[in-house]
Amino acid sequence: MKNYAIILASGSGERTGLDTPKQFLKIAGKTVIEHTLQVFQNHPKINEIIIVANKNYIKKVQSILRENKFKKPIKIVQGGLTRKDSSYNGISSIKDVEANVLIHDAVRPFVSSKIIDKCIEALKKHKAIDVAIPSSDTIVIADKNNFIKQIPERRFFRRGQTPQCFYLPLIKKAHELSLEDSEAKNVTDDCSLVLKYGLSDVYIVEGDHFNRKITYPLDLAIADKLFQLKSLKLEDVELNLIKDKVVVVFGHSRGIGKEICTLAKKYGARVWGFSRKNGVDVSDFNLVKKALFDVYKSEGKIDYIVNTAGILNIGYLEDRNIKDIQDEIAVNYLGAINIAKESFNYLKKSEGSLLFYTSSSYTRGRAKYCTYSSSKAAIVNLVQALSEEWTTFNIKVNVINPERTATQMRFQNFGKEPEDTLLSPKKVAKVSLETILGNFTGQVINVTREDLF
């Protein structure tokens, strides 16, 4: 029996208050719906995908499909006025007598292949399935005057997610019955219909906390952060993939840059390092240009470019020497621009990856750090902009945000600090390689001593 994924994408996104419906907003270099489609596209047990889209966005969906060249059969169906109508349109477009359908919100891009697996497995035994997680909030039932009528025991509550999955004839029947039922128009999910008409029990498959729905502007900000975590946590990146890749590291002579060279070599990469030590000052465009040209001439390709070159001089602005300040900005900011500009042609050819470094002070400037923290904030902004400019070329560009790290630069500015309060440059190097090998772009990757997840 075939497994169809129906992706509901016909919502108007009124609740975000934005002009574009949330499924078409971009996170981590791709629209929300592209992330969602990718999960179903990659799942080996999904045979076909049906996208239900609003008629004003059908062209947009068509162009997304053209750009992504997904391999599975994908059909676009026009949506309806309510979610229920859209769902019915998706279901009715399937001509098979028997099939399984997995109905999923386009605005839940974090659905995992594990959840899909569990659903398909459960469909062998049950005809209707919901995905849900225990509620961590207490749910209160209110009356129309804003008074609590009842607080049911929390342990009985689960929060519904999607996909909701069904044996096709069952969910078709539920929708057909609802056509005659005026009370059904407020129903916001498909399982409710099955229960309303007593057609089947609905079995619950455990979802997960990542599988969130993007509804409000805050959800978008959270989703952006979750993509950082997901990119590194859920995609198991094999460092062996770096074997025979050409990696260029600017700022290779010490600290994080040095560790990256060592680790990349250990995994078989062909590594080229540049720094002031071998005459390459990143603030000089021509030197950067020559360095990359020499590597290309010798290797015939450049896969990954990493820039760890950075200067930190602390002090109050008014007390500091203008030459030092200009030097710091030239290395930290102009250096990144020089490298990015000159990297483009090489990385376009290899569909490679560029990696920069920021500081935890990028989100909020710190006293005595004003030039350092503002130059590091600029790097994040630069990476976000470039990731958008370069998505069509398949060049990935990300930025690492390491916690206080045990490097010489830190030691020079802050003296000796207890070892166990600092992050090891080895860990930053490992995450750096995972990032350049990863398939995400425009991300700020936080590296901390202890993992949050």
Give CA–CA dist 233/110, Å, rounded. Answer: 13
How many chain residues are in contact with ligand C5P, going by CB under 6 A? 17
Span of 105-113, 167-175, 241-249, 270-278 interacting with ligand C5P by CB under 6 A:
105-113
Exposed/middle/buried for residue 284 (C-beta within 10 Å: 0-12, 13-18, 19+): middle
Residues 212-251, mask of contacts with ligand C5P (x by CB under 6 A):
---x------------------------------------
Residue 352 interacting with ligand C5P (CB under 6 A): no
Token readout for 343 is 């990297």
Two tokens, residue 20: 């574009």
Which among 5-13, 114-122, 254-262, 405-413 is the span making contact with ligand C5P, rule CB under 6 A?
A: 5-13
In the complex, minimum distance from the CB of residue 106 to ligand C5P, in angstroms, rounded to a whole number? 4
Q: Which of 16, 23, 373, 443 binds ligand C5P (CB under 6 A)?
A: 23
Site string for ligand C5P, 178-207 (x = CB under 6 A): ----------x-------------------
Burial of 148 per CB tally in 10 Å (0-12, 13-18, 19+): exposed
436 forms part of the interface with ligand C5P (CB under 6 A): no
> What does the per-residue mask of binding to ligand C5P show for 35-74, with x meaning CB under 6 A?
-----------------x----------------------
Phi-psi region of 237 (alpha: psi -120 to 50; beta: other; left: phi over 0): beta
Give the span between the Cα atoms of 363 and 380, in whole angstroms.
Answer: 9
Q: How far is CA 268 from CA 239, 295, 346, in A?
A: 10, 17, 21
Q: What burial letters (b/e) apply to 70-87, b meaning 16+ CB within 10 Å?
A: beeebebbebbebbbebb
CB of 100 to ligand C5P, least distance (A): 20
Give the whole-angstrom CA distance, residue 425 versus residue 446. 13
Site for ligand C5P in 108-137 (CB under 6 A): none
Q: Decide: helix, strand or coil at residue 445.
A: strand
Q: Rank residues 80 and 268 by Cβ distance to ligand C5P and give the closer one.
A: 80
Contacts 24+ apart (CB under 8 A), 319-322: 320/371
Tokens matching residue 245: 């890749």
Q: How far apart are CA 94 and CA 85, in angstroms?
A: 15
Residues 6+ apart with CB under 8 A from 152: 139, 141
Tokens, residue 357: 């470094």
Residue 178 CB, nearest distance to ligand C5P (Å)? Answer: 15
- Residue among 3, 5, 6, 11 that touches ligand C5P (CB under 6 A): 11
State the nearest-atom distance from the C-beta of 187 to ligand C5P, in Å: 10
Q: Does 86 bind ligand C5P (CB under 6 A)?
A: yes
Q: Rule CB under 6 A: say whether 8 interacts with ligand C5P.
A: yes
Provide the minimum distance between the beta carbon of 52 and ligand C5P in the complex, in angstroms, as a whole number. Answer: 5
Asked if 80 interacts with ligand C5P (CB under 6 A), we say yes
Using the rule CB under 6 A, is 401 a contact of ligand C5P?
A: no
Q: From residue 30, give the alpha-carbon distance in Å to each of 3, 133, 149, 172, 435.
A: 26, 27, 44, 33, 17
Sole window of 6-14, 236-244, 285-293, 390-398 interacting with ligand C5P (rule: CB under 6 A): 6-14
Cβ–Cβ < 8 Å for 264, 353: no
Does the protein bind ligand C5P through residue 9 (CB under 6 A)?
A: yes
Q: Least CB distance from residue 85 to ligand C5P, whole Å?
A: 6
Which of 84/245 has CB closer to ligand C5P?
84
| Contact region with ligand C5P (CB under 6 A), list: 4-12, 64-72, 264-272, 430-438 | 4-12
**Hey, what are 298's tokens?**
């010798």
DSSP code, position 248:
E
The residues with which 130 forms a beta bridge, in sequence order, are 204
Instruction: Tell me whether residue 10 or residue 343 sits nearer to ligand C5P (CB atom).
Output: 10
Please give, one letter per residue, the 3-state secondary structure of 31-74.
EHHHHHHHHHHHCCCCCEEEEEECHHHHHHHHHHHHHHCCCCCE
Cα(130)–Cα(202) distance, rounded to whole angstroms? 7
Q: Which residue has the CB atom at the shortest distance from ligand C5P?
A: 11
Q: Which stretch binds ligand C5P (CB under 6 A): 3-11, 147-155, 195-203, 444-452?
A: 3-11
* C-beta closer to ligand C5P: residue 110 or 333: 110
Contact 248, 302 (CB under 8 A): yes
Q: Residue from 3, 28, 61, 105 that binds ligand C5P (CB under 6 A)?
A: 105
Chain residues that interact with ligand C5P, rule: CB under 6 A: 8-11, 23, 52, 79-83, 86, 105-107, 188, 215
